Amino acid sequence: MLSKNIEEALNNQIRIEAESSQIYLAMACWAEVKGLEGIANFMYAQSDEERDHMLKLVKFVNERGGHAQISALKAPDVTFESFKEMFELLFKHEVFVSNSINELVHITLQERDYATHNFLQWYVSEQIEEEAMARTILDKINLIGDDKGGLYLFDRDIENLTVSSAAANGLSNDA
């Protein structure tokens, strides 16, 4: 059974994950109308993934005796100065989501809700991957600079980008 405090915190995270999906969807639309098909497809896939993260939380809250709340969402930015600015905003947003997840984990430890704590470990690992991916993308964008040919190749290749973090591969400092 979820405490009211944890239920409220999880419902807040549900809203954040839903807003994340909307942010990626807005970015996909912007990229698509700019002719950046690879970036658009990447963002559409990310939007779907964030929605899945939200649904996973919804089901968890309901299964644990709470009531998942679907709330109004803040409208995302729909235009960007450049694709670089868009990815910088994406990175900042992922850091915000990571901080939110970490705060949620902290609350579960304070309340000794180890079932929810355990459930949230998947989100902790996922955020390590999300931040690593955003950082890798920004590194590639900085390498490209103003080279249009580089942008063309980046747009073509981003759909296949996969970033494996040390956490996802089970690597640790114990090796």
Provide the annotated binding site for Fe cation: 17, 50, 53, 94, 127
Residues in CB range of 61: below 8 A, 6 or more apart = 2, 7, 10, 11, 14, 67, 68
Single-letter code of the amino acid located at 11: N
Nearest-5° Cα angle at 36, 50 to 23: 25
Binding residue ranges: 17, 50, 53, 94, 127
Q: How many CA atoms lie within 13 A of 61 on its CB side?
A: 23
What is d(CA 122, CA 147) in angstroms, rounded to the nearest whole number? 38
- Evaluate whether 23 touches 92 at the Cβ level (below 8 Å): no
| Tally of helices (H runs) and strands (E runs) in the chain | 5, 0
Count other C-beta atoms under 10 Å from residue 97's C-beta: 22
What is d(CA 78, CA 80) in angstroms, rounded to the nearest whole number? 7
